[in-house]
Amino acid sequence: MSIKVTVWGENVHERKNRVVAQVYPETMHGTIASALNREDGIEAATVTLQDAEHGMTAARLAQTDVLIWWGHAAHGDVQDEIVERVCDAVWSGMGIIFLHSAHFSKPFKRLMGSPCNLTWREAGERERLWVTSRNHPIAAGLPDHFELEHEEMYGEPFGVPEPLETVFISWFAGGEVFRSGLTYKRGAGSVFYFRPGHETYPTYHDANVQRVIANAVRWAHNPAARIAQPHDAPNVPVQSALEPITERGPRLHQDGEAGYR
C-alpha cells in the first residue's frame, strides 16, 4: 500500500509573481508532488487554497496519510474551521510536514501553541544545512551537510516549543544559524518542520531537499487506524472500574443528602 500524500499549496505567488512562475512552471506544490511521485511507495496529489474548503474536505483528510503545507502570503485567508479540521486529523494520527513560511500558518501555530516567530532576510545568500542527527530516518541518504546557493535567511530565536529532535541546523552566509529540521508529536500525529523553500529560489528542484521531504513523508506516516474522536474524554464509572472499588469520600447520595455516610 502506498503512502498517500496531499501537498497543500497556497498557490498565490505562482500566479502573481513572474519570477516564481518561471522557477516553478509546475507550481511549488506541483513540483513537490512530482518529486514524491517518482519515489517508490508514495502517491502524491495536490490541492490549493482556492479549492472548495481549501481542498481540505473531510473525505480528502481521511484519505491523506501525510499532509504537506506551504503557505506565505495568504495565511489569514485559511478559514478557522478548516484549520481545526486539519489539526483534528493530526491529533487523530495524520502526519504533517510544514515547509518554510508555513511556520506562520494557522495550523502550525495552532499545533505549536507559540508565536513561531523568527528573524529573516531576503538576500539570495548561501544556506548550508548540517545533519545534526546522523541516524535519523529523515536524514537517510544525505551527506553530512549540503548547500543551497540561494535562499532566504531565517534566524534564531525561533519561537517554537523545544522539539523532540533537531535533524538539521542551517548556517547562512550572513552568519546566522537556524534549527531547520524539527520533529514534534501532537496527539497521535507526527509533525516535521523543514525550513528551506523561499518561493523565488529553485529549492524544491534540489535533489537533497527532495530527499528530505520524501524521507519525512515515510517518517511521518502512521499506519495505525485513526483515532475517531480525538477530543473525547470519557468517564469511567465505579461499576466499570477494572478492579472492584467502593466509592469513598464526601458526595451527593441518592436520597439528596450531601456529605460522608
Binding site for Zn ion (CB under 5 A): 101, 152, 198
Least distance in angstroms from the C-beta of 122 to Zn ion: 7
CB of 227 to Zn ion, least distance (A): 34
Pick between residue 17 and residue 132 the one whose CB is nearest to Zn ion. Answer: 17
| Minimum separation from the CB atom of position 175 to Zn ion (A) | 19
Q: Closest Cα partner for 46 from 2, 4, 7?
A: 7
- Kindly list the distances between the CA atom of residue 110 and the CA atoms of 10, 36, 116, 158, 202, in Å, as whole numbers in the listed order: 18, 27, 10, 16, 29
Nearer to Zn ion, 39 or 152 (CB): 152
Q: Which is nearer to Zn ion, 126 or 218 (CB)?
A: 126
Q: What is the CB-side half-sphere exposure of residue 118 using CA atoms within 13 A?
A: 23
Nearer to Zn ion, 100 or 136 (CB): 100
- Judge contact between 210 and 194, C-beta under 8 A: no
Q: How far is the CB of 219 from Zn ion (least distance, A)?
A: 24
Q: Smallest Cα–Cα separation from 24: which of 11, 37, 36?
A: 11
Q: How far is the CB of 100 from Zn ion (least distance, A)?
A: 6
d(CA 183, CA 166): 7
Instruction: List Cα–Cα distances, 200 to 14, 22, 74, 196, 205, in angstroms.
Output: 9, 9, 17, 11, 12
Nearest-CB residue to Zn ion? 198
Q: Where are the beta strands (DSSP E) in 156-234?
A: 165-172, 177-186, 189-194
State whether the Cα torsion 152-182-145-119 is positive or negative.
positive
CB of 2 to Zn ion, least distance (A): 31
Distance of CA 256 to the CA centre of its chain: 52
Q: Which C-beta is closer to Zn ion: that of 192 or that of 219?
A: 192
CB nearer to Zn ion: give 101 or 210: 101
